[in-house]
Amino acid sequence: MIEIEPKRDEKGNIVRGVWIRKGLTETINETQLNIEISRLERAVDDLKARLDFLKRVRAEIERRKAELEKSA
């Protein structure tokens, strides 16, 4: 589990939509986080579609190779 806490300004007030990992100075902006997650999800979907296509091509190649071997 990642330990995060809300970021606070100089007065100790919580900065809305910004989080910080405990013990680190790295901030996590919720909007940027959601954009990055969406971008990565689209990339994964694109890769899955490409993988599916390549598997179909491989299956077709194997099928045609088998046909050629039978006719030879």
What pTM, to 2 d.p., does this model score?
0.64
Of the pLDDT bands very low, low, confident and very high (cuts 50, 70, 90), residue 3 is confident
Strand order from edge to edge, sheet including 4-8? 4-8, 14-21, 27-29
* Residue 62 structure tokens: 């194997």
Residue 28 β-bridge partners: 19
Query: Per residue in 13-70, pLDDT tens?
Result: 998 888 887 766 677 888 988 999 999 999 999 999 999 999 999 999 999 999 999 9
Q: What are phi and psi of 18, to 5 degrees?
A: -125, 130
Contact 14, 30 (CB under 8 A): no
